[in-house]
Chain A
Amino acid sequence: MMDEIKAKIRAFIVENFLYGEDSELDDDTSFLGDGIIDSTGILELVGFLEETFEIEVDDEELLPENLDSLDNVAAYVARKI
Chain B
Amino acid sequence: MEKSTRKNNCHIPCLIHHFLEKSAQLFPDKIALIHENVRASYFQINTAADKLACRLIDLGIKPGDRVAIFLDNCQEYVISYYGILKTGAIAAPLSRDLKPDGLRLLLGKLRPKIIISERKFERRLKAADLDATDLKAMILLNPKIGWKDVSFQVLAWDDLKHQDTALPPDIIIEESSPASIIFTSGTTGTPKGVVLSHKNIVSNTEAICDYLQLTENDVQMVVLPFFYVMGKSLLNTHFAAGGTIVINNTFAYPASVVKQMIDEKVTGFSGVPSTYTYLLHRSPLASKADQLKSLRYCSQAGGHMSLQIKQQLRQILPPHIKIYIMYGATEASARITFLEPKHFETKMESIGKPLANVRLYVLDSNGKEVADGQRGELAAVGPNIMQGYWQEPEATASVLDLKGYHTGDQGYRDKDGFYYLAGRKDNMLKVGGHRINPMEIEDVLMATDLVLETAVVGVPDNLLGHRLIAVIAPKDASVDINRILRICAEKLPKYKQPSELKLVRGLPKKSSGKIDRYRCLQMLEDIEDM
Query: How many chain B residues touch A (Cβ–Cβ < 8 Å)?
Result: 25
Scan residues 26-47 of chain A and give those whose CB is less than 8 A from a CB of chain B: 32-35, 37-44, 47
In the assembled complex, A59 has its CB within 8 A of some CB on chain B? yes
Q: A68 — which chain B residues lie within 8 A by C-beta?
A: 250, 253
Alpha-carbon distance A40/B96, docked complex (angstroms)? 16
Q: Are A35 and B96 in contact (CB under 8 A)?
A: yes
Q: Is the interface of A mostly helix, strand, loop or mixed?
A: helix
Q: Are B252 and A38 in contact (CB under 8 A)?
A: yes
Given the known A-B contacts A59-B283, A59-B284, A62-B283, are A40 and B255 also in contact in the complex, defined by CB atoms under 8 Å?
A: no
Q: Are A64 and B508 in contact (CB under 8 A)?
A: no
Which residue of chain A is the closest to B511 with respect to CB atoms?
Answer: A38
Q: Are A40 and B120 in contact (CB under 8 A)?
A: no
Which residue of chain B is the closest to A60 with respect to CB atoms?
Answer: B284
Among B250, B282, B283, B287, contact of A43 (Cβ-Cβ < 8 Å): B282
In the assembled complex, A1 has its CB within 8 A of some CB on chain B? no
Among A34, A59, A64, contact of B120 (Cβ-Cβ < 8 Å): A34
Q: Are A63 and B255 in contact (CB under 8 A)?
A: yes
Mask, A40-61, CB within 8 Å of B = 1, is 1111100100000000000111
Q: B508 — which chain A residues lie within 8 A by C-beta?
A: 40
Among B249, B253, B284, contact of A67 (Cβ-Cβ < 8 Å): B253
Q: Are B96 and A62 in contact (CB under 8 A)?
A: no
Q: Are B505 and A47 in contact (CB under 8 A)?
A: yes
Scan residues 55-81 of chain A and give those whose CB is less than 8 A from a CB of chain B: 59-64, 67-68
Q: Are A63 and B256 in contact (CB under 8 A)?
A: yes
Alpha-carbon distance A34/B119, docked complex (angstroms)? 9
How far is the CB of B504 from the nearest CB of chain A, in Å? 8
In the assembled complex, B194 has its CB within 8 A of some CB on chain A? no
In the assembled complex, B251 has its CB within 8 A of some CB on chain A? yes
Q: Are B255 and A60 in contact (CB under 8 A)?
A: yes
Query: How many chain A residues touch B (Cβ–Cβ < 8 Å)?
Result: 21
In the assembled complex, B254 has its CB within 8 A of some CB on chain A? yes
Among A32, A40, A59, A61, contact of B505 (Cβ-Cβ < 8 Å): A40
Alpha-carbon distance A32/B254, docked complex (angstroms)? 13
Among B253, B287, B473, contact of A62 (Cβ-Cβ < 8 Å): B253
Q: A40 — which chain B residues lie within 8 A by C-beta?
A: 505-509
Q: Are A39 and B255 in contact (CB under 8 A)?
A: no
How far is the CB of A23 from the nearest CB of chain B, in Å? 11
Q: Are B253 and A42 in contact (CB under 8 A)?
A: yes
How far is the CB of A75 from the nearest CB of chain B, in Å? 16
How far is the CB of A76 from the nearest CB of chain B, in Å? 12
Which residue of chain B is the closest to A66 with respect to CB atoms?
Answer: B253
Alpha-carbon distance A38/B253, docked complex (angstroms)? 10
Alpha-carbon distance A26/B473, docked complex (angstroms)? 31
Among B252, B282, B507, B513, contact of A37 (Cβ-Cβ < 8 Å): B252
Q: Which residue, A32, A39, A61, has most C-beta atoms of chain B within 10 A?
A: A39
Which residue of chain B is the closest to A34 with respect to CB atoms?
Answer: B120
Q: B283 — which chain A residues lie within 8 A by C-beta?
A: 59, 62
Q: B255 — which chain A residues lie within 8 A by C-beta?
A: 59-63
Among B250, B278, B505, contact of A44 (Cβ-Cβ < 8 Å): B505
Among B96, B253, B477, contact of A63 (Cβ-Cβ < 8 Å): B253
How far is the CB of A58 from the nearest CB of chain B, in Å? 8
Q: A63 — which chain B residues lie within 8 A by C-beta?
A: 253, 255-256, 259
Q: Are A42 and B252 in contact (CB under 8 A)?
A: yes
Q: Are A39 and B96 in contact (CB under 8 A)?
A: no
Q: Are A64 and B282 in contact (CB under 8 A)?
A: no
Q: A47 — which chain B residues lie within 8 A by C-beta?
A: 477, 505
- Cross-chain pairs A/B with CB under 8 angstroms, 22 sampled: A32-B252, A32-B253, A33-B120, A35-B96, A39-B251, A39-B252, A39-B278, A39-B506, A40-B505, A40-B508, A43-B282, A44-B506, A59-B254, A59-B255, A59-B282, A59-B284, A60-B287, A63-B253, A63-B255, A64-B250, A64-B256, A68-B253
Chain B interfacial positions (CB closer than 8 Å to A): 96, 120, 249-256, 259, 278, 282-284, 287, 473, 477, 505-509, 511, 513
